[in-house]
Amino acid sequence: MPPKTKHCLGILGLDCGPPSGQTSPSPLPGSLQSSATFGLDVVTEVVPGASADVVMRGDPSLEPAYVAAACRLVERGAVVISADCGFSVRHQAAVAASVNVPVVMSSLVLVPALLRQLSSNAKLAIVTADAGEFSEDLLGISDPAERARVVVGGIEHTTSYRNMMMDPPQPTELRDIEEDVAGCIEQLRAAHPEIGAVVVTCTGLPIAMPAIRRATALPVYDITTICRLTLESVGA
């Protein structure tokens, strides 16, 4: 067990590290894994078997591994727990029930609150890695009227997606990420001009959000948004 770190953000990581003998590049400021993003240490516990493609499809058999990794994070000093894939929200309830610290597995946890925040005539856009893999259970919405206000788009046909789905994932130029996300939002807004806010679920995209907020002039939420909020709530 690695040494305990005081007041850290714990990340349940995907099982997609670099080849043996190689090290992962340092995370960029603004990313989920960077301590500079939050002003405190970030520690990760890899969830065995949780490759990106498996987590996106959904595999209930991963739940014990998520819970065990979350418990290890608490032992290491995590005061908030999140996850390195928005589709991990499927394990939100199980992980939250297993630890005594706040759990925010995905920016999708924000969806019910954001629908209440917006005008009843406004829509909420979800930008995800692969819209084809995005299923209703991820939203946690039972009211048909509220569901009708949520529109979903994906970046599955982009350079950003292809690189992040490689094993191991490959880096993508920031400009490419910005263009891929902006293009997805532009298509959604063309079809749904009443969009009033955006939730970005993919945890590899937050570094592009400053440019996306400037370009769209919309409120844009991602995994680092909810992690900052939750860390502030516990005084970390």
Separation between Cα atoms, residue 26 and residue 94, nearest integer Å: 31
pTM given for the model: 0.93
Domains (range + CATH), the chain:
8-106+226-233 (3.40.50.1860), 107-222 (3.40.50.1860)
Residues 6+ apart with CB under 8 A from 208: 174, 177, 178, 181
pLDDT band, very low/low/confident/very high, at 143 (cuts 50, 70, 90)? very high
- Average pLDDT for residues 137-157, to the nearest whole number? 95
- Average pLDDT for residues 124-138, to the nearest whole number? 96
Residues 6+ apart with CB under 8 A from 99: 70, 71, 73, 74, 81
pLDDT band, very low/low/confident/very high, at 26 (cuts 50, 70, 90)? confident
Distances (CA, A) of 122 to 92, 127, 185, 198, 218: 27, 16, 15, 11, 12
pLDDT in tens, 57-87: 999 999 999 999 999 999 999 999 999 999 9
Strands (E), the chain: 8-13, 42-46, 78-83, 123-128, 150-154, 195-200, 220-221
